[in-house]
Structure 1
Amino acid sequence: MSTGVRRRMGVDERRQQLIGVALDLFSRRSPDEVSIDEIATAAGISRPLVYHYFPGKLSLYEAALKRASQDLASRFAEPHEGPLGARLLRVMRRYFDFVDEHGPGFSALMRGGPAVGSSATNALIDSVRQAAYDQMLSHLGVAAAPARLELVVRSWISLAESTALLWLDGRRIPRAELELQLVHDFAALAAVSAAHDEDMAALLKTMVKGEQADGPFAELVGRLISLGS
């Protein structure tokens, strides 16, 4: 028979619980709209106890962002197996899974929120972008990117962010179409750069090597050819 007595949480366990609760609330609404009272109620504790673990909502928000940024950065990890186009499409699907699940929080982070502009928040955003950049170089088999490749990869990461934000504003374009379009965007950026640089041209050949007839890169070529027919 249950006694109904609650198990007392340790300090770290309680902090992790509050971060999880806050992240869930921030994922459904803008952090500006979520109060400490709501977080306390959702966690089943008092408002003063929340302040016992976090000095204020800003520190709790930054802790939630840290967990979210680690989650988002992990979405770019992908086994180096199979054609690059298919790998990037799987990455984009996981990326949009995150955006879909954490819409308001993702938007608040990128567009403006209670912690935006702080050194801690900027560092978290930069860490996600750097993780994405490092993963892309790894997929391309490049240890140190020359200037043109760095421009292509970082431009594409920024494009993915902007596309996700625009999609959240009404979701007027089917998500699957945007995921595929972003893979095509990467190939297009690389192709334009290859037209100006021999090293990029060689890398582009490596990118499409082993690409299947029904793969994302091959599909892009087919669509472009059909436009001219």
Structure 2
Amino acid sequence: MTTGVRRRMGVEERRQQLIGVALDLFSARSPDEVSIDEIATAAGISRPLVYHYFPGKQSLYEAALRRAADDLAARFEEPCEGPLGARLLRVMRRYFDFVDEHGPGFSALMRGGPAVGSTTTNAMIDEVRQAGYEQILAHLDVDDPPVRLSLVVRSWVSLAESTALIWLDGRRIPRAELELQLVHDFAALCAVSAVYDDEMARIVAGMLADEPLEGPLGVLVSRLMAIAPAALSPMARVPRPRSG
């Protein structure tokens, strides 16, 4: 039998509750549309009490983004075991789990939301990108990446971010398809760089060495080989310059 007496929360517990409530609301609607009154009502406390724990909506918003950024960065963590393609696909699935669950919050984090241009928000975004960058290098077992690899990995992390933001606007491509495509995009970026750099060629060879035919990277190679004859035949008809 309940007494109806509300349990009094400690300071940190209440702060964490407010952050969680705010994040839930920001994940459902744009943070610009969420008021302090709504946050207070959802938390079961008064508006003045919200201000007792946070000086304003901006500070509460940044605290919610801090939690979201930590969660998103953790989505890149994956044991360095098994074929690389399968690992990257699991990372992308967890990444899109977050995007799917926290659409407006994800957009707010990556686009800045009401805190656009703020040093705090920009630093959080950079932390997420850096976490993704470092995790991918760990999967490739590279401590001191060559310049081209560093460029590829950072470009791919940005590509995943921009792809997710575009996908949220209508979700016109099946999510599972997009997750696999992003894994293929990473392999393609690496392969193009390998054409220009012997060190990248060795890295790509290592990526494919233990990749099963039915794995994400094996599937990509098979599909490219299937379309290669059709793609190359028009090139074969292009007149070649005569020597001399």
TM-score (norm 1): 0.98
**Greater relative contact order, per chain length (Cα 8 Å cut-off, separation 6+):** 1
**Structure 1, residues 91-143: CA drift from partner, whole Å, max 9, x if none?**
00000000000001111222341112111101100000000001001000011
Q: Work out which of the two has the higher radius of gyration on C-alpha atoms and give 1 or 2.
A: 2
**Structure 1, residues 174-211: CA drift from partner, whole Å, max 9, x if none?**
00000000000000000000000000000111111210
Match of 1:113 in 2: 113
What is the number of residues matched between the two proteins? 229
Match of 1:89 in 2: 89
The two structures, once aligned, show a CA RMSD in angstroms of 0.8
Contact 1:183–1:216 (Cα < 8 Å) also in 2: yes
Match of 1:104 in 2: 104
Deviation at 1:64, TM superposition (A): 0.3
Q: Which runs of 5+ in 2 are unaligned?
A: 230-244
Report SS of the residue matched to 1:228.
helix
Matches within 5 A, 1:183-202: 183-202=183-202
Q: Give the letter aligned to residue 225 of structure 1.
A: M
Contact 1:109–1:116 (Cα < 8 Å) also in 2: no
Distance across 1 between alignment mates of 2:74 and 2:179? 17
Report SS of the residue matched to 1:114.
helix
TM-score (norm 2): 0.92
Q: Give the letter aligned to residue 159 of structure 1.
A: L
Deviation at 1:79, TM superposition (A): 0.7
Deviation at 1:145, TM superposition (A): 1.2
Give % identity: 78
Distance across 1 between alignment mates of 2:109 and 2:67? 13
Q: Are 1:65 and 2:97 an aligned pair?
A: no
Q: Which runs of 5+ in 1 are unaligned?
A: none
Distance across 2 between alignment mates of 1:2 and 1:86? 49
Q: Are 1:29 and 2:29 an aligned pair?
A: yes
Once the two structures are overlaid, the 10-residue window that deviates more, 110-119 or 20-29, is 110-119
Q: Would you identify which runs of 4 or more consecutive aligned residues in structure 1 move more than 4 Å?
A: none
